[in-house]
Amino acid sequence: MKPFAYHQPDGIPDAAKLLISIEDSKLVAGGMTLIPTLKQRLASPAALVDLSKLGSLKGLADGGTTITIGAMTPHAVVAASKLVQTKIPGLAALASMIGDPAVRSRGTIGGSVANNDPAADYPAGVLGLGATIITSKREIAADKFFLGLFETALEPGEIITAIRFPMPLKAGYAKFKAPASRYALVGVFVAKFADGVRVAVTGAGPGVFRVPPMESALSENFDPSAIAAIKINTDGLTSDIHAEADYRAHLVTVMAKRAVDAALS
């Protein structure tokens, strides 16, 4: 790890100011990606701006038709939340499948969504549920937020403060874990709303994406059989030593069916 300055601001405006004023500074939430990167000397920011003192960013709020989760809320808290378990059990299940217990107790939803790792779980839940990303500056719809491999709509100095999830009629997540890393080789989040179904896929490509043919088929008939014959085009899907693109494409269909099963159970 190379030396860096460390700041622990008391408020969002201070944090945003530090991020803008210090060139090459980085925000740290749970640090589950950033700290290993620093240790391997793959990143060497001049300063870290740590959000851990901002208590207002932690916790969940029941908005009646929505649940708002503070950006600094750890995965373990979301997984164990009675509110989430009752209203969006698929999201609680997703949180319970991230990493291992140590990662779940340190890693945060805001950190995961801002990082937008192509194999992370939360982007599938956020996009699948059509959530809204609330930042220090504005509100961004999930459909406009994830821009591809580690890219998001966040501007310099913009900080995620919370994520607001609409409550679906039904929702489920199915994840095929990469054998070594246990990131999603393919993870599919399915959510049924009164006005239709959303299907979001993580792990399979360079960034989370929706599958419109599955969405329309499931909107007609919310049953695994409705999508069993839908094949995903392998163009743009990831091939690596663990899985070639055609296997990932196949797994999208399998995991989508299992996510529907999970939503129905």
Partner 1 sequence: MGNVIGIGAAPKRKEDQRFLTGRGNYVSDIKRPGMTSGVFVRSPHGHAVLRGIDKSAALASPGVIAVLTGDDVKADSLGSLPCGWGITDAKGTPMKEPPFPMLAQGKVRFVGDMVAFVIAETPEQANAGAELLKIDYEVLPSVVGVLEAVRPGAPQLFDDVPDNICCNWELGDKAAVEAAFRKAAHVAKLSLVNNRLIGNPMEPRAAIAEYEPGTDRFTLWTTSQFPHVVRFLMGALVLNIPQHKLRVVAPDVGGGFGVKQFHYGEEAVITWAAKRVKRPVKWVASRSEGYVSDRHGRDHVTEAELALDENGKFLAFRVNTLANMGGYLSTFGPNIPTNLYGPLLSGVYTTPAIYCNVKVVFTNTVPVDAYRGAGRPEATFVLERIVDVAASEMGIDRVEIRRRNMIPKEAYPYQTPVLVQYDSGDPMGCLDGALVAADVKGFGARKAASARKGRFRGLGYSTYVEACGLAPSRFAGRLGARGGLYESATVRVHPTGQVTVMIGTHNHGQGHETTFAQIVSDKLGVAFENVDIVFGDTDRVQFGMGTYGSRSLVVGGAALSKATDKVIAKGKKIASHLLEAAEADIHFESGKFSVAGTDRMKTFEEIAGAAYVPHNYPLEVLEPGLEEQAYYDPVNFTYPGGCHIAEVEVDPETGTVTLVNYTAVDDVGTVINPMIVEGQLHGGIVQGVGQALFENAVYDEGSGQLLSGSLMDYCMPRADHLPMMKVATHSTLCTHTPMGVKGCGEVGTIGSPAAVINAVVDALSHLGVTHVDMPATPNRIWRLLQNASLPVAAE
Kindly state whether residue 265 participates in binding partner 1, applying the rule CB under 8 A: no
Query: Which x/- pattern, by CB under 8 A, does the window 168-197 give for partner 1?
Result: --------x--xxx-x--------------
What are 78's two structure tokens?
A: 């979301």
Other Cβ atoms within 10 Å of 155 Cβ, number: 11
| Vertex 127 angle, CA 123 and 128, to 5° | 110
Q: Per CB under 8 A, which region of 71-79, 91-99, 134-142, 248-256 contacts partner 1?
A: 248-256
Q: For residue 7, report the phi and psi dihedrals to the nearest 5 degrees.
A: -125, 140
Q: Is 145 in the site for partner 1 (CB under 8 A)?
A: no
- Does 243 participate in binding partner 1 (rule CB under 8 A)? yes
Which residue, among 140, 164, 152, has the nearest Cα to 27 in the 3D structure?
Answer: 152
Examine residue 82 and tell whether it contacts partner 1 (CB under 8 A). no
In the complex with partner 1, the residue whose CB is nearer, 194 or 229, is: 229
Instruction: State in angstroms the smallest separation of the CB of 118 from partner 1.
Output: 13
Q: Which residues contact 227 (CB under 8 A, 6 or more apart)?
A: 214, 217, 218, 253, 256, 257, 260
Build a one-symbol-per-residue string for 2-41: x at contacts with partner 1 by CB under 8 A, - elsewhere. xx------------------------------------xx
Q: Are 30 and 45 in contact (CB under 8 A)?
A: no
Task: Please tell me the number of Cα atoms within 13 Å of 42 on its side-chain side.
Answer: 6
Check residue 150 for interaction with partner 1 (CB under 8 A): no
Q: Tell me if 101 contacts partner 1 by CB under 8 A.
A: no
Interface residues with partner 1 (CB under 8 A) are 1-3, 40-41, 176, 179-181, 183, 241-244, 247, 250-251, 254
